[in-house]
A and B are shown apart, each in its own frame.
Chain A
Amino acid sequence: MARAKFLCDAERCIECNACATACKNEHEVPWGLVRRRVVTLNDGEPGEKSIATSCMHCTDAPCVSVCPTSTLYQTDIGIVLHDKDTCIGCGYCFYACPFGAPQFPKSTLFGSRGKMDKCTYCAGGPEEDHSEAEYRKYGTNRIAEGKLPICAEVCSTRALLAGDGETIGEIYRERVVHRGFGSGAWGWNTAYYPGDAG
């Protein structure tokens, strides 16, 4: 059984933001929301690193647990999806998310929260696959076509890896052995192994 994960090789990410841009374009993510972004650590200092981040599709996903309306749900390969029709914009998922992934449009009364939006692992939502409604609410559904998230597939340095966790783990480890260094799989401990985290 496959387990979908994201892995960003911080030694390879060059902060080109192609992943973020491709994501925005692919799904026509509205103004003000970002499903994927790049964070730079130690900017301008020795040891500077950039990491592309988004929803990590956690194991025992905290957002799913705290959601009061069962808007969030997980699939059997780990992808966490959301149902825009039942979201009430309470923001609980945001407080429970270890990666700051859920996004809220400031479009409603009082400029407060609208319905949550987040990375779908390019797997759409509960609407019928490839329907107009699915595209409008969640963007394209590449998984249904057997493809992987656009952010990883466009990554020119292959820093951002998506797909089966075991396979991307192997690819990464081989790379680290080959080049002789690597700072590890950032975020994996928190995202995928909740009981294990120190």
Chain B
Amino acid sequence: MSDAAGGVRGRDFTGYRIAGALSALLFLVLLAWQIVFMLGGGDTVTPEVAWSSAATEGPDTPGARTGGGTLVAETLTARTRLQDERFRTGPSAEGDVPERALDPGTRLTTAPLEDGSSLTAAWAVPDDDSAAMMHESGRVEGRSSLPYANAALFERPFARDWRIGMSDVITHMGALAILGMAFLLSAVLALRGRVPIRRGKSGRTVKRFGFLERATHWLTAISFLGLSFTGLAIAYGETLFVPLGARAMGTLGWWSTWGHVLFAPTFFLGILIMAVMWTAKNLPSRLDAQWLAQGGGFFSDDGPHPPARKFNAGQKLIFWSAILGGLVMVLTGVTLMFPFYWLDLGGMSWAMLIHAAIAVLLIAVFLAHIYIGSVGMHGAVHAMWSGRVDRNWAAEHHDLWLKENASDTEGAR
């Protein structure tokens, strides 16, 4: 329980540390999987379905297939020839109709294809003739008589970069950030243990958060978690759930999309009330520099904690992540719900990228917050649950705040 220096130490929480070690191991495996996945470079789109030709039609020979791809190619190519100049081919008096071009018995049908990667590789390289006849890539927009958004757009090569930003950069970096943070937190728990109350619990409590503060916190927290899980299901569902079947992912995705929208208003309300309630106490002060310089006293049980008022610098950072990050999420999110209401396609593309990038960052950051508010620090969770904290906890982490409230023994504030 105590050692030469006296008092409770982080490493005394043996059970927590074992759990931390186990989950560190788990997250290390997941991280390794993610890195292998990322470096696997399997992001090229390959065909999943192959056409084949069912030569005869009729109930007697269901699915009887002949010729496979070659017959399909011959049939379609013959038909393609019909578009050539009429004097040469096609339905005209002089021309010869290519064989199979107008075959009424033709039936082409599809079946799953094992590995189409060689096809994509072959398609991607133009032969000299095709290379010579191509119009160069570039943004092309004209005019259209249709009354729809983007109807006048012809070509927008930026979309290919958007795809790289979305499916290669943000998705992979997000997974790294989230799994990496989870691993770090588990490792900290294993090596360092919980942040202890050095002098143990005094048994006397002081009021820390009122009902409105707690209600707002949990409204925001639950909404945030709801948004995170539904958002992650959409972003990573293809990797995590499609093995269960594409239809299962379709259903899950559909629920997630609508669930995502439903959690948004309560989240917005939560951060608004938080902003009104807590901004004054979260403005930067000189104490914060000292607190940050000492790492919040987080990594060592020895030596005094840096002084803090109601919120220390770490909590202020969390507060501002919630408020500013949350505002960006709400703004981009509402924008995405009403396409082209105030942004054009370029703007919408950026809104989507920003929404996704900030989302994975916020999830990683709030993992750390949830950790320190629960298992990471002995006695912390009571602040947001019952609203009262142990006096010794308050003295160690928020000494100046405790002094300001010291006049009332049971702490009415």
Contact = CB atoms under 8 A, between A and B. Distances in A.
A89 B329 CA distance: 19
Contacts of B156: 97-100
A69 B73 CA distance: 30
B73 A144 contact: no
Given A143-B108, A144-B107, A190-B157, A38 B49 contact: no
Contacts of A38: 144
A98 B155 contact: yes
A167 B80 contact: yes
B143 A185 contact: no
B313 interface: no
A192 B163 CA distance: 16
B124 A169 contact: no
Interface in A109-168: 109-113, 129, 143-148, 152-153, 158, 161-168
Nearest to B235: A68
A73 B79 contact: no
B69 A76 contact: yes
B261 interface: yes
Nearest to B70: A1
A9 to B, nearest CB: 11
Contacts of B269: none
A59 B83 contact: no
**7 smallest beta-carbon distances between A and B, as pairs:** A86-B250, A163-B80, A146-B106, A184-B135, A62-B163, A2-B73, A41-B142
Nearest to B348: A95
Interface residues of A, number: 99
B141 to A, nearest CB: 8
Contact of B133 (A73, A85, A169): A169
B153 interface: yes
A91 B339 contact: yes
A95 B340 CA distance: 12
Contacts of B364: none
Contacts of A188: 130, 133-135
Interface string B68-112: 011011011101111111000000000000001001001111100
- Chain B interface size, as a band, is 35 or more
Contacts of A173: 129, 133
B148 A32 contact: yes
Contacts of B130: 165-166, 169, 185, 188
B108 A144 contact: yes
B135 A4 contact: no
A186 B50 contact: no
B257 A90 contact: yes
B253 A88 contact: yes
A121 B48 CA distance: 16
Given A100-B153, A129-B109, A189-B137, A90 B234 contact: yes
A198 interface: yes
Contact of B142 (A43, A111, A153, A185): A43
A144 B163 CA distance: 31
B113 A85 contact: no
A158 B51 contact: no
Interface string A79-99: 001010111111110011111
A43 B352 contact: no
A197 to B, nearest CB: 4
Nearest to A32: B148
A146 B134 CA distance: 28
B67 to A, nearest CB: 12
A3 B76 CA distance: 10
B136 A86 contact: no
A39 B135 contact: no
A69 B76 contact: no
B162 interface: yes
Given A110-B338, A168-B80, 5 more contacts: A39-B153, A75-B113, A90-B257, A148-B76, A193-B125
A144 B140 contact: no
A169 to B, nearest CB: 5
Given A71-B250, A76-B116, A98-B157, A60 B44 contact: yes
Contact of B246 (A70, A183, A189): A70
Interface centre among B100, B119, B348, B349 (most CB of A within 10 A): B119
B144 A66 contact: no
B107 A145 contact: yes
B32 interface: no
B167 A65 contact: yes
B242 interface: yes
A43 B143 contact: yes
A4 B123 CA distance: 10
Given A146-B76, A171-B83, A112 B49 contact: no
A78 to B, nearest CB: 7
Contact of B136 (A91, A171, A189): A189
A107 interface: no
Contacts of A194: 124, 160
A130 B85 CA distance: 32
